[in-house]
Structure 1
Amino acid sequence: MRSEWEVQMSKIIRPKLMFLDQHLKELNILIQNDNSNPIMRLLCDNPGFLLASLPTNSHIQSSALWSCREKVSLLHLTHMVELSDGKDNLPVLWRFLNREAELRLVRHLPDILTLQKELVKKFQNLSEITDLKNGLKVFLQNSSLKAWYEKHINIFLTTWNQLRTSLATKSEIKLPDEFCQKDLDTYSDLKVLFPQRQGPGLCSTALVSYLIALHNDMVYCVDKHMGEETSYKVSPADLTDLHVIHYELERDIMSMILSNSQYSIEWGQETLHEYDLPKIQMQIISRVLLGKPLIYLNGIPTLVNRHERNYQIILKDVREKVKQETLPALTALDLARDLHNYSEACEALSTLELVLGFLAMAGGDPHMQLSSYLEEVLQMGSQISEHILKVLSLFSLKHCVVLWQLLTSDNMLMLKKDPFERVCEVYKKDLGEDVREQLTAFCFESSTDTFLLELHEFLVLELQNPKAPDDFKPEWSLKDSLEAYMMRKDLDFLPDLEKHFPSEICLCHCVETWKFINAIKQERSRRQIG
Structure 2
Amino acid sequence: MSVDTTKRGHVLGKAMDGVVLKPERELNPTYCAAVRLMLHMAMYLGPVEQIQAIIKPQIATTEVSDFIMNHIKANVSDLKRALGRSVDDVILLMHVVIDKIEKEGEAFPAEVHLLSSKEDRKAWENSFATIVLRGILSQAENWLMRFNHEIVNDQRLGADPLLCLIYETENRQDAQDLEQLLEVPRMWRFRVPITIEHMSQELDSKMRELKRPPRILHRFLNEDYILQALRYLPSIMQLQRALLRRFQRKLDKAEAKRITVKDFKTELSECHGVEKWIDAFSMAWDATRTFLQHGCLTKSGRYTLPEELCNEQINDDTSLAIFLPTTDGPGLCSYAMLDYLFRKQNEMLEYYGQKSDRLNIPSVKPMNVNAAHLICYDHEHDIMPILLANCQYSFEIGVGTTVEYDFAGMERQLIDRLLYSKSNIELRPFLEVKQLKYMRYLM
TM-score after normalising by structure 2: 0.60
The amino acid across from 2:278 in the alignment is I
Q: Is the 8 A contact 2:353 2:361 kept in 1?
A: no
Q: Is the 8 A contact 2:134 2:205 kept in 1?
A: no
Alignment pair present for 1:199 and 2:323: no
Q: Is the 8 A contact 1:264 1:271 kept in 2?
A: yes
User: Which of 21, 24, 33 matches 2:143?
Assistant: 24
- What residue is the counterpart of 1:159 in the other structure? 284
Taking a change above 3 Å as real, the CA distance of residues 48 and 253 of structure 1, as seen in their structure-2 partners, is: closer
- Partner secondary structure for residue 263 of structure 1: strand
User: Which of 244, 248, 251 matches 1:120?
Assistant: 244
* Counterpart mapping for 1:328-347 below 5 A: none
Measure how far apart 1:279 and its partner are: 0.9
User: Which of 223, 226, 230 matches 1:106?
Assistant: 230
Measure how far apart 1:129 and its partner are: 3.3
1:35-92 deviations in whole A, cap 9, x for unaligned?
645222353437999xxxxx99543432334422110001110111111126992221
- Partner secondary structure for residue 372 of structure 2: helix
* Counterpart mapping for 1:65-84 below 5 A: 65-84=187-206
Taking a change above 3 Å as real, the CA distance of residues 203 and 90 of structure 1, as seen in their structure-2 partners, is: same
Taking a change above 3 Å as real, the CA distance of residues 60 and 168 of structure 1, as seen in their structure-2 partners, is: farther
1:358-387 deviations in whole A, cap 9, x for unaligned?
xxxxxxxxxxxxxxxxxxxxxxxxxxxxxx
- What residue is the counterpart of 1:281 in the other structure? 411
In structure 2, C-alpha distance between the alignment counterparts of 1:280 and 1:302, rounded to whole Å: 40
In structure 1, C-alpha distance between the alignment counterparts of 2:135 and 2:364, rounded to whole Å: 47
- What residue is the counterpart of 1:506 in the other structure? none
- What residue is the counterpart of 2:217 in the other structure? 93
In structure 2, C-alpha distance between the alignment counterparts of 1:15 and 1:144, rounded to whole Å: 53
Higher relative contact order (CA 8 A, sep 6+): 2
Q: Is the 8 A contact 2:295 2:336 kept in 1?
A: no
Alignment pair present for 1:217 and 2:347: yes
Q: Is the 8 A contact 1:106 1:246 kept in 2?
A: yes
- What residue is the counterpart of 1:320 in the other structure? none
- Partner secondary structure for residue 265 of structure 1: strand
User: Which of 356, 362, 370 matches 1:226?
Assistant: 356
In structure 2, C-alpha distance between the alignment counterparts of 1:60 and 1:47, rounded to whole Å: 17
- Partner secondary structure for residue 302 of structure 1: coil
Q: Is the 8 A contact 1:230 1:294 kept in 2?
A: no
1:431-464 deviations in whole A, cap 9, x for unaligned?
xxxxxxxxxxxxxxxxxxxxxxxxxxxxx6xxxx
Taking a change above 3 Å as real, the CA distance of residues 4 and 183 of structure 1, as seen in their structure-2 partners, is: closer
Q: Which 10-residue stretch deviates more, 142-151 or 267-276?
A: 142-151
In structure 1, C-alpha distance between the alignment counterparts of 2:388 and 2:361, rounded to whole Å: 34
In structure 1, C-alpha distance between the alignment counterparts of 2:289 and 2:214, rounded to whole Å: 29
Q: Is the 8 A contact 2:248 2:436 kept in 1?
A: yes
- Partner secondary structure for residue 68 of structure 1: coil
In structure 1, C-alpha distance between the alignment counterparts of 2:251 and 2:134, rounded to whole Å: 64
- Partner secondary structure for residue 77 of structure 1: helix
The amino acid across from 1:77 in the alignment is M
Q: Is the 8 A contact 2:229 2:283 kept in 1?
A: no
In structure 1, C-alpha distance between the alignment counterparts of 2:173 and 2:352, rounded to whole Å: 54
The amino acid across from 1:161 in the alignment is D
User: Which of 250, 258, 278 matches 2:388?
Assistant: 258
1:78-137 deviations in whole A, cap 9, x for unaligned?
111111126992221112112223212201112212222332233222262333322111
1:225-264 deviations in whole A, cap 9, x for unaligned?
1022244111111111100011221122111111110022
- Partner secondary structure for residue 351 of structure 2: helix
Q: Is the 8 A contact 1:92 1:221 kept in 2?
A: yes
Q: Is the 8 A contact 2:148 2:169 kept in 1?
A: no
In structure 2, C-alpha distance between the alignment counterparts of 1:178 and 1:307, rounded to whole Å: 25
In structure 1, C-alpha distance between the alignment counterparts of 2:143 and 2:354, rounded to whole Å: 36
- Partner secondary structure for residue 188 of structure 1: coil
The amino acid across from 1:277 in the alignment is F
In structure 1, C-alpha distance between the alignment counterparts of 2:169 and 2:136, rounded to whole Å: 26
Q: Which 10-residue stretch deviates more, 288-297 or 13-22?
A: 13-22
Q: Is the 8 A contact 1:45 1:63 kept in 2?
A: no
1:372-428 deviations in whole A, cap 9, x for unaligned?
xxxxxxxxxxxxxxxxxxxxxxxxxxxxxxxxxxxx7xxxxxxxxxxxxxxxxxxxx
- What residue is the counterpart of 1:143 in the other structure? 268
Structure 2 regions of 5+ residues with no counterpart? 1-118, 154-158, 298-302
- Partner secondary structure for residue 403 of structure 2: strand
In structure 2, C-alpha distance between the alignment counterparts of 1:224 and 1:186, rounded to whole Å: 44
Measure how far apart 1:154 and its partner are: 2.4
The amino acid across from 1:153 in the alignment is I
* Counterpart mapping for 1:356-395 below 5 A: none
- How many pairs does the alignment contain? 305
- Partner secondary structure for residue 105 of structure 1: helix
Taking a change above 3 Å as real, the CA distance of residues 306 and 66 of structure 1, as seen in their structure-2 partners, is: same
| Percent identity of paired positions between Structure 1 and Structure 2 | 26
Taking a change above 3 Å as real, the CA distance of residues 269 and 150 of structure 1, as seen in their structure-2 partners, is: same
- What residue is the counterpart of 1:301 in the other structure? 434
- Partner secondary structure for residue 396 of structure 2: coil
Q: Is the 8 A contact 1:110 1:240 kept in 2?
A: yes
Taking a change above 3 Å as real, the CA distance of residues 291 and 19 of structure 1, as seen in their structure-2 partners, is: closer
In structure 1, C-alpha distance between the alignment counterparts of 2:282 and 2:403, rounded to whole Å: 38
Taking a change above 3 Å as real, the CA distance of residues 12 and 152 of structure 1, as seen in their structure-2 partners, is: closer
- What residue is the counterpart of 1:476 in the other structure? none
Measure how far apart 1:193 and its partner are: 0.8
Taking a change above 3 Å as real, the CA distance of residues 59 and 153 of structure 1, as seen in their structure-2 partners, is: same
Taking a change above 3 Å as real, the CA distance of residues 56 and 14 of structure 1, as seen in their structure-2 partners, is: closer
Q: Is the 8 A contact 1:46 1:62 kept in 2?
A: no
Taking a change above 3 Å as real, the CA distance of residues 182 and 63 of structure 1, as seen in their structure-2 partners, is: farther
Measure how far apart 1:277 and its partner are: 0.7
Taking a change above 3 Å as real, the CA distance of residues 189 and 170 of structure 1, as seen in their structure-2 partners, is: closer
Structure 1 regions of 5+ residues with no counterpart? 50-54, 309-407, 409-459, 461-530
In structure 2, C-alpha distance between the alignment counterparts of 1:126 and 1:242, rounded to whole Å: 33
Measure how far apart 1:306 and its partner are: 5.5
Taking a change above 3 Å as real, the CA distance of residues 30 and 285 of structure 1, as seen in their structure-2 partners, is: same
* Counterpart mapping for 1:36-75 below 5 A: 36-42=160-166, 43-45=168-170, 58-75=180-197
